[in-house]
Amino acid sequence: MDIAGIITALGVIIVAWFQWTKERKDKKAGAELDMWRKNQERKAARDSEHVAQIYGILWELMYKLQSERVYIIQPHPLAHHQFISISMEVVKRGTSSMRSSIYLLPMSEAPRFVGLISTESWVYRKVAEFDSHIQAVMGIGGTTSLAIKKMIGSEDEWVGSLVTDTTTDKVMDDDVLHQSMRDAANQIQYILPEYKS
């Protein structure tokens, strides 16, 4: 028996086995990557549909309540809240946007306001009743009063707040306002996508 022939034969078998194993793992990784891509595409399509639904709800709420602005304030990043930002906003023609005023606002700069909107289920106040920092932020847009409805996710965590504000001194009917905000928040809170800055 030729030892070199035996070693060569064993080497060929081992190389073939490694090649077969590598091809099998490559196919498995390729299939997993394809599945991940398809899931991401489905998630993106679903999120787009949800965003469209949410904007429709916000427009409807703004016109029903005859307010100047309706927007959603969301904490982020989701794992450990550090900032609040307006994620979606609708405004009447001629009214300035609040999005640039509440964008990447550190929670430490408005602790009482963040504490209020993250813990209280319902708030309706004049802007003058908030702390001076929030008065200044809201004053940029001419806001005189805020109605805020807390939204919770599927695990009872704060996912954002639905806000309606007015720039006039008109008083809204508290019961109609509260019911309308609650109905809109219930439609939005479980389909609201995570805010990514």
Distance CA 117, CA 151 (A): 9
| Dihedral in degrees, nearest 10, Cα atoms 175, 185, 114, 47 | -160
Q: Which tokens go with 162?
A: 């639905």
Residue 153 has pLDDT above 80, yes or no: yes
Nearest in space to 74 (alpha carbons), one of 178, 182, 166, 189: 189
- Which tens digit of pLDDT belongs to each residue from 73-111? 999 987 778 999 999 999 998 888 898 889 999 998 888
Nearest in space to 162 (alpha carbons), one of 61, 70, 80: 70
Phi/psi for 38 (5° steps) reads: -65, -40
- Which tens digit of pLDDT belongs to each residue from 158-188? 999 999 988 887 777 888 899 999 999 999 9
Q: Could you give all domains of the chain from N- to C-terminal order, each with its CATH number?
A: 43-188 (3.30.450.40)
Strand order in the sheet with 122-126: 105-106, 83-91, 69-76, 158-166, 145-152, 122-126
Find residue 70's DSSP bridge partners: 90, 164
CA angle 167, 172, 177 (to 5 degrees): 110
